[in-house]
Amino acid sequence: MKAESGALSAALGFTAADLQANRQGALSPAQRERMQHARRRDAFIAAGLFCLLALAATVLVYIGQFNRNVISSGAGVMLIFINAAMVGRAGRAFMRMSGDLRANKVDRLSGDIERVLRRGRASDSYLVRISGVELNVTQEVFVSLEHNAPYRIYRTRISQVLLSAERGN
């Protein structure tokens, strides 16, 4: 049992202090720091992609106008729409993580785990069902959980990031 909890802890990246804070319904200071770092990293990546796509769209629209090429202009306009969708998605993710950091609340899911492996052409999807909720997990987390065994899983309320888990009784 101790080796199992160690594998689960390593797969989800939590410590005993994180688990204790999650049991009390809050984020640990280390989890808050990791979420702030992830939020900042994602924001920088989104800003870089925005600039790159904006530059590419500008070049394509310019070339299309200069050469009177409808295809280049159309590709530039499509890149503008793709860029807008990407910025909206990144903004939504940023706001969700900010909401979790502000609220400092953790949800607990309890019950028997059902592991579901969905085979795909390019890759497999690892799902865990608990209390009627489906969670996408990594292969490491999937392997660390025992099928049809009781667990308590802790996750953030808004962005639903998995924080920690422990074997139930």
The reply to whether 135 falls in a domain is: yes
Compute the average pLDDT of residues 31-39.
96
pTM (2 d.p.): 0.83
Per-residue pLDDT, 4: 61
The reply to whether 140 falls in a domain is: yes
CB hemisphere CA count around 75 (13 angstroms): 12
Compute the average pLDDT of residues 149-162.
94
pLDDT tens for each residue of 101-113: 999 999 999 999 9
The reply to whether 52 falls in a domain is: yes
Residues 40 and 99 in one domain: yes
Range of the domain at 118: 106-167
Q: Which of 47, 68, 103 is the last residue of a domain?
A: 103
H or E stretch including 136? strand 133-137
Compute the average pLDDT of residues 155-169.
92
CA neighbor of 156 nearest in space, from 93, 104, 92: 104
Cα dihedral 115→97→35→152 (10° resolution): -30
**Strand order across the 133-137 sheet:** 114-118, 125-130, 133-137
Q: Which of 103, 121, 154 is the last residue of a domain?
A: 103
Q: Which of 51, 83, 103 is the last residue of a domain?
A: 103
- Whole-angstrom distance, CA of residue 102 vs CA of residue 98: 6
Residues 85 and 117 in one domain: no
The reply to whether 163 falls in a domain is: yes
What total of structural domains would you count in the chain?
Answer: 2
The reply to whether 2 falls in a domain is: no
